[in-house]
Amino acid sequence: MKKMVVGIGVLLSLLLWFSSCGARIEESEEISGSDLLKKEEELAAEGENYIVVGFSQVGSESDWRIASTESFKETFSQENGYYLIFEDAQQKQENQLKAVRNFILQEVDYIVLDPIVETGWDAVLQEAKEAGIPVIVADRQVKVADESLYTCWVGSDFEEQGRRAGEWLESYLEEKGRTSEEIRIVTLQGTRDSTAQIGRTGGFAQILERNDNWTMLERRDGDFTQTKGQEVMEDFLKTYSGIDVVVSENDNMTFGAIEAIEAAGKTCGPDGDVIILSFDAGRAALQAMADGKINVEFECNPLLGPLVSDIIQKLERGEEVEKLQYVKETYFDSTMDLDTIIQERVY
C-alpha cells in the first residue's frame, strides 16, 4: 500500500484543485486558500508525513450525521498524522460520485465513503481500484457486483435494530394487555434505498408479519429530516384515524412527528395516545424520552471515526482487515435510569 508524503507537491495540487474547481477543502481546522499556502510552507519545513484521507459524507441532515462528522474531523486530525479532505454531499449521490473522482485525481491515500444509497457505485469504485486507492465504506453499505471494489465496511446492523424495535413493541403491547386489539401503525422512513432505511424497515417487517393484529397503514419517505418527518406525520394524521404507533426511522423525523402530533391536539409517549419508536438515541432524543414524549430508542453509534482510523492503521502495517465490521448497540426505554444515561451520552 502506498503512503503519500504530504509535501509541497501534494499541497500544491490540493491548492490548484481548490482554486480551479472552486471546491471546498476542509479539515479539522478550516483552511482558506492563503492559509493553505502558509500550511504548505510549514509542513515542508517540518518535513512531516501525513496519511491523506478523502471522506465523502452523506450530508448534515440529522443530529446523528453531525456527530458522525465531528467524530471523523476529530479523529483525522494532523495531530493524529492525517490530512483530511472532507466533502459534504448534501444528500445527493451525484455529489458523492464527483467527490470520489476528485479524491482519485488528488491521489489520496485512502477514500472513506458513507454512501447515501446502496447502488450505483460499481464504476467509480472500479476507478478507485485501478488507481490503487483503498476504499473504506462506513455506516451505510454499497451493493456492488464485485466485492473486491472496496476494502471493508464498518457500521451498524440496521436490520437487527428494526427487528429489535418490533420485538420491543410485541412485549410492550403484551404488558399492556393489547395483544388482541387492532394496532394501527405508520412508518416514517429514512432516505429510500439507504442501508439504514432498508434494514430498519426490513427488520421491523419480520416482526410485523407474525403479529396478525398489527396493521401497517402506510410507510412513507421522510428523508431523515425533521421538516420532512413533520410534513409526512401531518399528512398521516389527516389521512388515518386512530394511529396507535409511529415507527420513526431516525430521531430528527421523530422530533418533527412529535410537533405534528401535538399540533393535532394529541399526545405521545408512555402516557400518551401514540406510542413512539425511534432510532439513533442521540442525547436530545433521550431527553425527549425523559420528558415523556418517546417510548423507546434504538441506539445507532455515529462515532465511527476511530474505528475507520484503526482499519487504516492496520492496512498501513500490511495487516488483514475483516470485510464486514458491525458495531455493538443497545436500546433505551422509559423504564430505565435516563438521567444517568443522558449524562454519560457523548453524542
Q: In this structure, are residues 251 and 298 in contact, taking their beta carbons and an 8 Å threshold?
A: no
Least spacing, CB of residue 46 vs ligand GYE, in Å: 37
* Phi, psi values for residue 159, rounded to 5°: -65, -40
β-strand 152-155 against 135-138: which pairing, if any?
parallel
Among 280, 281, 285, 288, binds ligand GYE (CB under 6 A): 280
Least spacing, CB of residue 223 vs ligand GYE, in Å: 9
Q: In this structure, are residues 297 and 269 in contact, taking their beta carbons and an 8 Å threshold?
A: no
Q: How many residues bind ligand GYE (CB under 6 A)?
A: 12
Stretch that binds ligand GYE, among 56-64, 78-86, 174-182, 315-323 (CB under 6 A): 56-64
Strands (E), 140-295: 152-155, 183-189, 214-221, 245-248, 275-280
Least spacing, CB of residue 282 vs ligand GYE, in Å: 8
Restricted to residues 58-77, the positions that interact with ligand GYE (CB under 6 A) are: 61-62, 64-65
Nearer to ligand GYE, 106 or 189 (CB): 189
Nearer to ligand GYE, 62 or 189 (CB): 62
Q: Per-residue x/- mask for ligand GYE, residues 209 to 248, rule CB under 6 A?
A: ---------------x------------------------
Q: In this structure, are residues 71 and 306 in contact, taking their beta carbons and an 8 Å threshold?
A: yes
Nearer to ligand GYE, 185 or 300 (CB): 300
Nearer to ligand GYE, 243 or 300 (CB): 300
Q: In this structure, are residues 289 and 332 in contact, taking their beta carbons and an 8 Å threshold?
A: yes
Among 27, 40, 139, 244, binds ligand GYE (CB under 6 A): 139
Q: Is 151 in the site for ligand GYE (CB under 6 A)?
A: no
Contacts of 325 (CB under 8 A, 6+ apart): 152, 153, 154, 155, 307, 311
Give the number of other Cβ atoms within 10 Å of residue 181's Cβ. Answer: 11
Nearer to ligand GYE, 231 or 244 (CB): 231
> Could you give the residue ranges of the DSSP H alpha helices within 58-194?
63-75, 93-105, 122-130, 158-175
Contacts of 21 (CB under 8 A, 6+ apart): 102
* Site of interaction with ligand GYE (CB under 6 A): 61-62, 64-65, 139-140, 196, 224, 250, 279-280, 300
